[in-house]
Amino acid sequence: MNDEVADVRAAVPAARRPDRQRRVAGFGVGIAVSEWGDEAAPPLLVAHGGFDFVGTLDVFAPMLADGGWRVISWDQRGHGDSDHAELYHWDADMRDALAVLDSISTEPIPVVGHSKGGNMTLQLADAQPHRFQRLVNLDGIPTRGNAPDVADRDRTKLLSGELAAWLDHRRRLAGHQRRADTLDGLARRRASMNPRLSIEWLRYLVTVGGRLDPDGWRWRTDPALRLGGFGPRRPEWTLNCLSGLGIPFLGVLSTIHEEMGWGATAVDVKPHLPAGAEIVELADVGHFVHIEQPRQVADLVLEFLA
Protein backbone atom coordinates (compact mmCIF):
# COMPACT_ATOMS: atom_id res chain seq x y z
CA MET A 1 0.00 0.00 0.00
CA ASN A 2 1.55 3.32 -1.03
CA ASP A 3 1.32 6.52 1.01
CA GLU A 4 -1.45 8.03 -1.15
CA VAL A 5 -3.68 4.96 -0.69
CA ALA A 6 -2.94 4.86 3.05
CA ASP A 7 -3.93 8.53 3.44
CA VAL A 8 -7.12 8.05 1.41
CA ARG A 9 -8.20 5.06 3.49
CA ALA A 10 -7.35 6.84 6.75
CA ALA A 11 -9.88 9.53 5.78
CA VAL A 12 -12.69 6.94 6.16
CA PRO A 13 -11.88 5.57 9.64
CA ALA A 14 -15.14 3.60 9.92
CA ALA A 15 -14.18 1.43 6.92
CA ARG A 16 -12.66 -1.99 7.55
CA ARG A 17 -11.30 -4.28 4.89
CA PRO A 18 -12.46 -7.93 4.98
CA ASP A 19 -10.96 -10.26 7.57
CA ARG A 20 -10.65 -13.12 5.07
CA GLN A 21 -10.68 -13.54 1.31
CA ARG A 22 -10.97 -16.64 -0.88
CA ARG A 23 -12.09 -17.71 -4.34
CA VAL A 24 -14.97 -19.87 -5.54
CA ALA A 25 -15.28 -21.52 -8.94
CA GLY A 26 -18.28 -19.95 -10.67
CA PHE A 27 -18.81 -22.15 -13.73
CA GLY A 28 -15.59 -21.21 -15.50
CA VAL A 29 -15.24 -17.79 -13.85
CA GLY A 30 -13.27 -17.25 -10.64
CA ILE A 31 -15.38 -15.48 -8.01
CA ALA A 32 -13.69 -13.44 -5.26
CA VAL A 33 -15.35 -13.95 -1.86
CA SER A 34 -14.75 -11.80 1.23
CA GLU A 35 -15.73 -12.24 4.87
CA TRP A 36 -15.96 -10.11 7.99
CA GLY A 37 -16.44 -11.35 11.56
CA ASP A 38 -15.86 -14.48 13.59
CA GLU A 39 -15.64 -17.63 11.46
CA ALA A 40 -17.74 -19.44 14.07
CA ALA A 41 -20.56 -16.86 13.97
CA PRO A 42 -23.79 -17.61 12.06
CA PRO A 43 -23.41 -16.77 8.34
CA LEU A 44 -25.09 -13.81 6.64
CA LEU A 45 -24.78 -13.41 2.86
CA VAL A 46 -24.72 -9.90 1.33
CA ALA A 47 -25.05 -9.20 -2.41
CA HIS A 48 -23.77 -5.86 -3.77
CA GLY A 49 -25.39 -3.85 -6.55
CA GLY A 50 -24.51 -3.47 -10.21
CA PHE A 51 -21.19 -1.70 -10.95
CA ASP A 52 -20.35 -2.02 -7.26
CA PHE A 53 -17.98 -4.42 -5.54
CA VAL A 54 -17.31 -5.88 -2.11
CA GLY A 55 -15.37 -2.77 -1.06
CA THR A 56 -18.58 -0.71 -1.08
CA LEU A 57 -19.56 -2.72 2.02
CA ASP A 58 -16.45 -1.80 4.03
CA VAL A 59 -18.42 0.27 6.57
CA PHE A 60 -21.78 -1.53 6.49
CA ALA A 61 -20.53 -5.15 6.65
CA PRO A 62 -18.32 -4.65 9.74
CA MET A 63 -21.34 -3.22 11.58
CA LEU A 64 -23.27 -6.42 10.83
CA ALA A 65 -20.25 -8.50 11.83
CA ASP A 66 -19.96 -6.60 15.11
CA GLY A 67 -23.62 -7.49 15.66
CA GLY A 68 -22.66 -11.16 15.87
CA TRP A 69 -22.67 -12.33 12.25
CA ARG A 70 -20.12 -13.87 9.88
CA VAL A 71 -20.76 -11.59 6.90
CA ILE A 72 -19.94 -13.03 3.47
CA SER A 73 -20.06 -11.19 0.16
CA TRP A 74 -18.65 -11.70 -3.31
CA ASP A 75 -17.60 -9.62 -6.28
CA GLN A 76 -20.06 -10.53 -9.02
CA ARG A 77 -18.50 -11.67 -12.28
CA GLY A 78 -16.97 -8.75 -14.14
CA HIS A 79 -16.87 -6.69 -10.93
CA GLY A 80 -14.10 -6.08 -8.40
CA ASP A 81 -11.58 -8.90 -8.05
CA SER A 82 -13.69 -11.56 -9.78
CA ASP A 83 -12.84 -12.73 -13.29
CA HIS A 84 -14.28 -11.12 -16.39
CA ALA A 85 -16.42 -13.26 -18.68
CA GLU A 86 -16.80 -13.51 -22.44
CA LEU A 87 -20.52 -12.77 -22.09
CA TYR A 88 -22.70 -11.65 -19.17
CA HIS A 89 -26.12 -12.97 -18.37
CA TRP A 90 -28.51 -12.67 -15.43
CA ASP A 91 -28.74 -16.46 -15.07
CA ALA A 92 -24.94 -16.71 -14.82
CA ASP A 93 -25.03 -14.25 -11.92
CA MET A 94 -27.68 -16.44 -10.28
CA ARG A 95 -25.51 -19.53 -10.66
CA ASP A 96 -22.54 -17.66 -9.17
CA ALA A 97 -24.67 -16.68 -6.18
CA LEU A 98 -25.59 -20.32 -5.65
CA ALA A 99 -21.92 -21.34 -5.91
CA VAL A 100 -21.08 -18.86 -3.13
CA LEU A 101 -24.07 -20.05 -1.10
CA ASP A 102 -22.95 -23.67 -1.52
CA SER A 103 -19.49 -22.72 -0.23
CA ILE A 104 -21.04 -21.43 3.00
CA SER A 105 -23.74 -23.87 4.06
CA THR A 106 -26.39 -26.28 2.83
CA GLU A 107 -28.69 -24.99 5.56
CA PRO A 108 -30.91 -21.94 5.03
CA ILE A 109 -29.26 -18.63 5.93
CA PRO A 110 -30.35 -14.97 5.96
CA VAL A 111 -29.50 -12.88 2.89
CA VAL A 112 -29.21 -9.13 2.26
CA GLY A 113 -29.13 -7.66 -1.26
CA HIS A 114 -28.71 -4.09 -2.49
CA SER A 115 -30.07 -2.85 -5.84
CA LYS A 116 -29.20 -5.46 -8.50
CA GLY A 117 -28.15 -7.78 -5.67
CA GLY A 118 -31.56 -7.32 -4.04
CA ASN A 119 -33.37 -8.01 -7.30
CA MET A 120 -31.24 -11.09 -7.96
CA THR A 121 -31.62 -12.59 -4.48
CA LEU A 122 -35.36 -11.97 -4.59
CA GLN A 123 -35.62 -14.14 -7.70
CA LEU A 124 -33.28 -16.73 -6.18
CA ALA A 125 -35.38 -16.90 -3.00
CA ASP A 126 -38.44 -17.52 -5.14
CA ALA A 127 -36.67 -20.34 -7.00
CA GLN A 128 -34.95 -21.93 -3.98
CA PRO A 129 -36.74 -20.80 -0.82
CA HIS A 130 -35.24 -23.68 1.20
CA ARG A 131 -31.84 -21.92 0.99
CA PHE A 132 -33.12 -18.71 2.62
CA GLN A 133 -33.96 -18.01 6.26
CA ARG A 134 -34.87 -14.34 5.82
CA LEU A 135 -34.41 -11.81 3.03
CA VAL A 136 -33.58 -8.10 3.24
CA ASN A 137 -33.88 -6.01 0.07
CA LEU A 138 -32.06 -2.66 0.12
CA ASP A 139 -33.66 -0.43 -2.54
CA GLY A 140 -33.70 -3.24 -5.07
CA ILE A 141 -37.44 -3.75 -5.58
CA PRO A 142 -38.51 -2.86 -9.12
CA THR A 143 -41.87 -1.41 -10.10
CA ARG A 144 -44.20 -2.28 -12.96
CA GLY A 145 -43.64 1.16 -14.49
CA ASN A 146 -41.59 -0.16 -17.42
CA ALA A 147 -42.87 -3.74 -17.57
CA PRO A 148 -44.78 -4.31 -20.81
CA ASP A 149 -48.20 -5.91 -20.43
CA VAL A 150 -48.15 -8.16 -23.50
CA ALA A 151 -49.17 -11.65 -24.51
CA ASP A 152 -46.72 -14.53 -23.99
CA ARG A 153 -46.16 -14.91 -27.74
CA ASP A 154 -44.99 -11.29 -27.89
CA ARG A 155 -42.64 -11.73 -24.95
CA THR A 156 -40.58 -14.08 -27.14
CA LYS A 157 -40.11 -11.26 -29.64
CA LEU A 158 -39.12 -8.87 -26.86
CA LEU A 159 -36.55 -11.35 -25.57
CA SER A 160 -35.14 -11.73 -29.06
CA GLY A 161 -34.63 -7.98 -29.23
CA GLU A 162 -32.96 -7.95 -25.82
CA LEU A 163 -30.58 -10.71 -26.89
CA ALA A 164 -29.66 -9.01 -30.16
CA ALA A 165 -28.99 -5.66 -28.46
CA TRP A 166 -26.87 -7.30 -25.77
CA LEU A 167 -24.76 -9.25 -28.27
CA ASP A 168 -24.25 -6.15 -30.44
CA HIS A 169 -23.11 -4.23 -27.36
CA ARG A 170 -20.64 -6.99 -26.43
CA ARG A 171 -19.18 -7.12 -29.94
CA ARG A 172 -18.62 -3.35 -29.98
CA LEU A 173 -16.63 -3.50 -26.75
CA ALA A 174 -14.51 -6.55 -27.53
CA GLY A 175 -10.94 -5.88 -26.40
CA HIS A 176 -11.74 -2.49 -24.89
CA GLN A 177 -10.01 -1.25 -21.73
CA ARG A 178 -11.18 1.40 -19.30
CA ARG A 179 -9.59 4.83 -19.62
CA ALA A 180 -6.87 5.57 -17.08
CA ASP A 181 -7.12 8.63 -14.79
CA THR A 182 -5.78 10.01 -11.55
CA LEU A 183 -7.22 8.80 -8.25
CA ASP A 184 -9.13 12.09 -7.86
CA GLY A 185 -10.25 11.98 -11.47
CA LEU A 186 -11.73 8.52 -11.01
CA ALA A 187 -13.44 9.66 -7.81
CA ARG A 188 -15.05 12.59 -9.62
CA ARG A 189 -16.26 10.27 -12.38
CA ARG A 190 -17.77 7.97 -9.77
CA ALA A 191 -19.65 10.96 -8.32
CA SER A 192 -22.00 10.90 -11.33
CA MET A 193 -23.12 7.46 -10.15
CA ASN A 194 -23.00 8.29 -6.42
CA PRO A 195 -23.92 12.02 -6.29
CA ARG A 196 -24.72 12.05 -2.56
CA LEU A 197 -21.48 10.46 -1.31
CA SER A 198 -18.65 12.50 0.18
CA ILE A 199 -15.44 12.98 -1.78
CA GLU A 200 -13.60 11.10 0.99
CA TRP A 201 -15.76 8.04 0.44
CA LEU A 202 -15.52 8.31 -3.36
CA ARG A 203 -11.72 8.45 -3.16
CA TYR A 204 -11.76 5.46 -0.81
CA LEU A 205 -13.80 3.49 -3.35
CA VAL A 206 -11.12 4.07 -5.99
CA THR A 207 -8.50 2.44 -3.77
CA VAL A 208 -10.61 -0.70 -3.19
CA GLY A 209 -12.45 -0.99 -6.51
CA GLY A 210 -9.76 0.24 -8.85
CA ARG A 211 -6.18 -0.67 -9.69
CA LEU A 212 -3.09 1.43 -10.20
CA ASP A 213 -1.49 0.70 -13.58
CA PRO A 214 1.67 2.33 -14.95
CA ASP A 215 -0.47 4.91 -16.83
CA GLY A 216 -2.82 5.67 -13.93
CA TRP A 217 -5.88 4.41 -12.05
CA ARG A 218 -8.75 2.54 -13.69
CA TRP A 219 -11.77 0.66 -12.35
CA ARG A 220 -11.54 -3.13 -12.26
CA THR A 221 -15.13 -3.44 -13.51
CA ASP A 222 -15.36 -4.95 -17.00
CA PRO A 223 -16.19 -2.17 -19.54
CA ALA A 224 -18.43 -4.67 -21.36
CA LEU A 225 -21.01 -4.45 -18.56
CA ARG A 226 -23.91 -2.22 -19.55
CA LEU A 227 -25.81 0.25 -17.38
CA GLY A 228 -29.36 -0.92 -16.85
CA GLY A 229 -28.76 -4.41 -18.21
CA PHE A 230 -26.89 -7.52 -17.15
CA GLY A 231 -27.65 -9.69 -20.11
CA PRO A 232 -31.11 -10.07 -21.67
CA ARG A 233 -33.01 -9.32 -18.48
CA ARG A 234 -35.67 -6.81 -17.48
CA PRO A 235 -35.58 -6.26 -13.70
CA GLU A 236 -39.33 -5.60 -13.52
CA TRP A 237 -39.93 -9.29 -14.23
CA THR A 238 -38.72 -10.10 -10.72
CA LEU A 239 -41.66 -8.25 -9.18
CA ASN A 240 -43.77 -11.32 -9.97
CA CYS A 241 -41.67 -13.26 -7.44
CA LEU A 242 -42.43 -11.00 -4.50
CA SER A 243 -46.05 -11.77 -3.69
CA GLY A 244 -45.47 -15.52 -3.41
CA LEU A 245 -42.37 -15.27 -1.24
CA GLY A 246 -42.66 -17.70 1.67
CA ILE A 247 -39.93 -16.34 3.98
CA PRO A 248 -39.77 -13.27 6.24
CA PHE A 249 -39.03 -10.22 4.10
CA LEU A 250 -37.81 -6.69 4.86
CA GLY A 251 -37.67 -4.04 2.15
CA VAL A 252 -35.76 -0.78 2.74
CA LEU A 253 -36.54 1.99 0.25
CA SER A 254 -34.85 5.31 -0.45
CA THR A 255 -36.88 8.48 -0.90
CA ILE A 256 -34.33 10.44 -2.96
CA HIS A 257 -34.49 8.88 -6.41
CA GLU A 258 -31.25 8.65 -8.36
CA GLU A 259 -30.20 7.42 -11.79
CA MET A 260 -28.91 4.11 -10.41
CA GLY A 261 -32.05 3.46 -8.34
CA TRP A 262 -35.28 1.64 -9.13
CA GLY A 263 -37.61 4.50 -8.18
CA ALA A 264 -39.95 2.26 -6.19
CA THR A 265 -42.06 3.71 -3.37
CA ALA A 266 -43.95 1.99 -0.56
CA VAL A 267 -47.19 2.78 -2.41
CA ASP A 268 -45.86 0.95 -5.49
CA VAL A 269 -44.61 -2.06 -3.56
CA LYS A 270 -47.28 -2.74 -0.92
CA PRO A 271 -49.84 -4.36 -3.27
CA HIS A 272 -47.22 -6.99 -4.16
CA LEU A 273 -45.98 -7.79 -0.65
CA PRO A 274 -46.42 -11.27 0.84
CA ALA A 275 -48.18 -11.63 4.18
CA GLY A 276 -46.12 -10.37 7.12
CA ALA A 277 -43.54 -8.53 5.01
CA GLU A 278 -42.12 -5.22 6.27
CA ILE A 279 -41.35 -2.08 4.27
CA VAL A 280 -39.35 0.88 5.61
CA GLU A 281 -38.86 4.15 3.71
CA LEU A 282 -35.83 6.21 4.75
CA ALA A 283 -36.36 9.97 4.67
CA ASP A 284 -33.82 12.04 2.72
CA VAL A 285 -31.69 9.04 1.72
CA GLY A 286 -30.59 8.15 -1.81
CA HIS A 287 -30.30 4.80 -3.56
CA PHE A 288 -27.10 3.73 -1.78
CA VAL A 289 -28.89 3.50 1.56
CA HIS A 290 -26.26 1.31 3.25
CA ILE A 291 -23.45 3.70 2.34
CA GLU A 292 -25.25 6.97 3.14
CA GLN A 293 -26.73 5.75 6.43
CA PRO A 294 -24.83 2.56 7.35
CA ARG A 295 -25.63 2.70 11.04
CA GLN A 296 -29.36 3.22 10.54
CA VAL A 297 -29.61 0.48 7.91
CA ALA A 298 -27.41 -1.94 9.87
CA ASP A 299 -29.63 -1.46 12.94
CA LEU A 300 -32.76 -2.18 10.84
CA VAL A 301 -31.16 -5.34 9.46
CA LEU A 302 -29.87 -6.56 12.82
CA GLU A 303 -33.27 -6.00 14.45
CA PHE A 304 -35.01 -7.88 11.64
CA LEU A 305 -32.56 -10.78 11.82
CA ALA A 306 -32.94 -11.00 15.58
The CATH fold of domain 15-148+221-305: Rossmann fold (3.40.50)
Question: Which pLDDT does position 218 carry in this prediction?
Answer: 96
DSSP letter at 226?
A: B
Q: Report whether pLDDT(236) > 80.
A: no
Question: Which pLDDT does position 48 carry in this prediction?
Answer: 98
**Domain coordinates in residue numbering, the chain:** 15-148+221-305
Higher pLDDT, 33 or 167: 33
Task: Report whether 90 contacts 120 (CB < 8 A).
Answer: yes
| Alpha carbons 100 and 150: distance in angstroms, whole number | 36
The closest of 72, 78, 87, 98 to 30, measured between CA atoms, is 78
Give 120-143 pLDDT, tens digit per residue. Answer: 999 999 999 999 999 999 999 988
Task: Report whether 59 contacts 68 (CB < 8 A).
Answer: no
Give 147-176 pLDDT, tens digit per residue. Answer: 455 555 555 666 677 677 777 777 776 767
Average pLDDT along the chain: 90
